[in-house]
Amino acid sequence: MAFKLWTRLTALSLLFLLVLGSSPLVLQKANGAEKREVGMSAGDSFAIVLQSDGTVWGWGSNAAGQLATGQISKKASALPIQIKGIKSINKIVAGGSHAFAMANGKVWGWGLNHSGQVGIDSRAEYIMQPTLIPQLKDVVSISGGNSYNLALTKKGAVLAWGDNTSGQLGTGNNKLSREPVEVPGLTHVISIYAGNKTSYAIRDDGTLWAWGDNSGYQLADGTKTNRNKPLQVKNISSVQQVASGSSPHTVVLKKDGTVWTWGVNGSGQLGNGGVSAVQVQKSPARVQGISGVVKVAASKGNTLALTKNGAVYIWGGNEIGQSGGGKSSRTTPFHFPGLTGVVDVAASSSRSFYALDTNGYVWAWGDNVNGMIGNGMETIIDPKNPAKIVTNHNQTSAYRVMKL
């Protein structure tokens, strides 16, 4: 069945970066001007977007100051509003209910800060405007977790801050940190990923290291014991990218284009042909029926994959038809035949999914909780009748998509 689920985000040339540690695309001005990563990142109930002019816009919940309006609001914004106080931004990152913006080696943070996740060494519960984080220098990427974060430096070191109840900071204890601290014992890291309460790092030798929450066997060490120090994940090598859903389950893309999964499988998100709320997969296993993958993403109960020929596959939960019609879980990869020429994919924790094609079209389907899609509504989007995202500003685009 061909799906006409998709909606174009007019006036926005976007790259979706819902899961960090992935390889982004770059949108470059046709006249050869300076490159900027133009994209979108989604938290638990809000989203932010970076436009080609370096401005940042957000929509969704502002109950924790996520939209940086200077005040807390119980009413969500279902249309984009500009994040004031920052400009000429190059990268953006959304965590659970907090966010970051990067430019010229500097990092600004805002939003919920009850566990110090904004990283400015403040005990204020909310940071309602973008605030410079002086401790972050020479940072090349940040990954936002639920109430904590990871950062990667130019030298391949990993920094962590925020909540540490499951040892997700990797410092050897369970004390939270309100400012960035280095994760000991990790060097030559090239990619990071902060999940719900589980952290991942990929080293330049292709090994995967993990620490933090292990309640769903995310660390693949055969136990459910949380770890507060990085542990090499066994039985997996040549890792190129990692993603994790809050179900919890772990997804790994290897350099040979194969996909491997482990953890909880209550919605069929492991793609192994089965579904079970009680049985888990304790070690990495290859997902059959799919190859040539270049990007993976994960939501709470779904996994998304993009192949080198621009095809999109999904598997897992299907409560609102997000996996392609009907209500039954899809336990093996399902190909969306109506979506071609895709160059990037992303998945939010609220069952919203996105794809960017070579023409600069962004296609969206799934849930719209708290106005997450930014189309002026807050109701679940019927995949058969997708809504077009409405913006409250004009932005002409002279950009073209380029692969790194």
Q: Please give the full DSSP string across 245-256, using - where no structure is assigned.
A: ETTTEEEEEETT
In a domain, 250, yes or no: yes
In a domain, 2, yes or no: no
In a domain, 10, yes or no: no
Task: Tell me the torsion sign for CA atoms 246, 21, 94, 227.
Answer: positive
In a domain, 4, yes or no: no
Residues of the chain with pLDDT under 50: 1-38, 382, 384-404
CA 223, CA 81: separation in Å to the nearest integer? 45
Tally of domains in the chain: 1
Extended beta strands in 17-97, E state: 26-29, 39-42, 46-50, 56-62, 73-82, 91-94
In a domain, 289, yes or no: yes
Where residue 227 sits, what CATH number does that domain have?
Answer: 2.130.10.30
Per-residue pLDDT tens over the stretch 302-341: 999 999 999 999 999 998 888 877 788 999 999 987 778 8
Reference 157, options 195, 183, 118; nearest CA is: 183
Per-residue pLDDT tens over the stretch 76-91: 888 889 999 999 999 9
At residue 350, the pLDDT reads: 76
Distances (CA, A) of 130 to 16, 79, 137, 156, 245: 21, 20, 17, 26, 28
Token pair belonging to 339? 């979506």
Contacts of 32 (CB under 8 A, 6+ apart): none
Which residues are 39's β-sheet partners? 15
Q: Are 327 and 318 in contact (CB under 8 A)?
A: yes
In a domain, 190, yes or no: yes
At residue 78, the pLDDT reads: 81
Long-range contact list for 138-143, CB < 8 A, 24+ apart?
Answer: 138/105, 139/102, 139/105, 139/107, 141/20, 141/21, 141/91, 141/191, 141/192, 142/20, 142/91, 142/93, 142/100, 142/102, 142/107, 143/20, 143/21, 143/93, 143/192, 143/193, 143/194
Which residues are 354's β-sheet partners? 346, 364
At residue 52, the pLDDT reads: 76
At residue 277, the pLDDT reads: 75
In a domain, 127, yes or no: yes
At residue 41, the pLDDT reads: 81
Q: Are 168 and 226 in contact (CB under 8 A)?
A: no
In a domain, 7, yes or no: no
Question: What angle (nearest 5°) sits at the alpha carbon of residue 246, between those of residues 63 and 230?
Answer: 110
Range of the domain at 128: 15-402
CA 373, CA 367: separation in Å to the nearest integer? 8
Global pTM value: 0.86
Contacts of 280 (CB under 8 A, 6+ apart): 216, 217, 262, 263, 264, 265
